[in-house]
Amino acid sequence: MPSTELEKDLESYFDRLWPICRSLTGDGVRETLAILQEVVPMELFSVASGSTVFDWTVPKEWNINEAYILDPSGQKIIDFKENNLHVFSYSTPVNTELTFEELNKHLRTLPAMPTAIPYVTSYYREQWGFCLSHEQWESLPREGNYRVVIDSSLTNGELNYGECVLPGETDKEILFSTYVCHPSMANNELSGPLAQAFLYKEIAKLKNRKYTYRFVFAPETIGIIAYLDRVGDQLLKNLEAGYVLTCVGDRGPLTYKRSKQGQSVADRTAEHVLKHSEKTHEIIDFAVGGSDERQYCSPGFNLPVGSLMRTPYQRYKEYHTSLDNKEFISFSHLADTISTYMDIVKVFELNEPYENKVKFGEPQLGERGLYPDSINPDTDRENLHNLLHFLSFADGQTDLITIAEARNRSALVFEEAIKNCQAKGLI
């Protein structure tokens, strides 16, 4: 059970968002964004079906009321209302009777995971289908007719996404982006929006923010392509760094996926935080298999956007199945991911090339009240050496991350030294 207020809040919102059938478009996306607006005061945007966004066309809006299969005896054996993964996302409507042989062409299972319901989509090809566990499939009668019903619609509607911008002292931006387009899956869907929403709450508490922070909640791929169609030029001009939040709630170690640039400030900052966090972690290079970092890093943009995850997509067997559920994730691990992202934000706020105003020799720290009268070897010596190290390297050209790495310390341990030096007019 959750033990902190944050974990309790995460679970509460998880339980409300879990039953919603989300897809690229439709009521499920709008309902999800409306709930998240309780945490993040985002502005909602819509893009009409049929709109051209770069090389893509926004699809029709899909909504579904119910879907089920009755076996030859009239028993309901598959019901969308019991698990919304039972239906291919974007299934066309159907109401007919079929033999098992005819029906089987529209069924998907995972023989290697016989208890799991797979997740299948058909966004850009009009068809219909059902997903079920392989165990259930094996028990289906092979004789007689089945009644198949999918009450869905594909109409000229809209694609929806949300955006919130927290202004800072400069126009330089840090981006956080996540998706809201999967049905009831925990790690691969809800962990990202939940982490990002509550990360927003923490960043909003920061006073005198140096950076402007941008938060995007959009359907994966087509949603971000539509978003970049609107704000891509602005991001090219102002974006300092960005991160895609996905698969951040399981119990695995942290994994950082670099931007395509490889050594952008987004990469340097995330890797620095992880190195000094004492948490088990892995660093992986950019690859096109993944989430919306593919769009942010696509040719023409190649923005400095990476992704801090826990166990990445496709690396855990529950991925894209009904086994990616509440039991699979941990709200304490989700809270820890938020904390790690917050450390990244704090380093960004601190990181810049400071300049020591005393150009020759060490500053006289004693007369400024910065040199202790006596030194406690356990604490004061470390703090004093951090201060002296910082001032020695603060040449107006070397940023804090580089200074911290030269002493093999986290940039965060220099926060007190920086504040003291600023208060005394030393930097």
| Tens of pLDDT, residues 212-250 | 999 999 999 999 999 999 999 999 999 999 999 999 999
Q: How many residues does the chain have?
A: 427
pLDDT above 70 coverage of the chain, percent: 98
Q: Residue 336: which pLDDT band, with cuts at 50, 70 and 90?
A: very high
Q: Which residue, of 96, 129, 155, is where some domain finishes?
A: 155
CATH of the domain at 224: 3.40.630.10
Tokens of 296: 């942010």
Are both 362 and 394 inside the same structural domain?
A: yes
pLDDT of residue 372: 81
183 with 240, same domain? yes
Measured CA to CA, the distance from residue 421 to residue 424 in angstroms comes to 5
Strand-strand pairing, 107-108 and 130-131? parallel
CATH number of the domain bearing residue 106: 3.50.30.90
**Does the pLDDT of residue 375 top 70, yes or no?**
no
Pair (137, 84) in one structural domain: yes
Q: Residue 126 — left, alpha, or beta (φ > 0 → left; ψ -120 to 50 → alpha)?
A: beta
pLDDT of residue 1: 43
Average pLDDT, integer, range 104-128: 97
Q: Using the predicted structure, report yes or no on whether residue 344 has a pLDDT greater than 50.
A: yes
103 and 207, same domain (yes or no): no
Helix (H, G, I), strand (E, B) or coil at 145: strand
pLDDT digits (tens, 9 = 90+) for 57-114: 999 999 999 999 999 999 999 999 999 999 999 999 999 999 999 999 999 999 999 9
CA angle 369, 400, 358 (to 5 degrees): 45
Looking at the structure, do residues 16 and 41 belong to the same domain, yes or no? yes
Domain range for 111: 62-155
Model pLDDT, residue 371: 85
Question: With 80 as the cut, is the pLDDT of residue 373 above it?
Answer: no
Return the ∠ at Cα 310 (arms to 32 and 277), rounded to 5°.
Answer: 120
| Token couple for 383 | 């703090």
Asked whether residue 299 falls in the same domain as residue 235, the answer is yes
Residues facing 145 on adjacent strands: 99
Same domain, 299 and 172: yes
Last residue of a domain, one of 334, 350, 366: 350
Write the single-letter amino acid at 273. Answer: V
Band of residue 340 on the pLDDT scale cut at 50, 70, 90: very high
pLDDT of residue 86: 98
Three-state DSSP class for residue 371 = coil
Model pLDDT, residue 379: 60
Average pLDDT over the chain, rounded to an integer: 96
With a cut of 80, say whether residue 2 has pLDDT above it: no
Q: Please tell me whether residues 29 and 76 are part of one structural domain.
A: no
Q: What pTM value is reported for the model?
A: 0.96
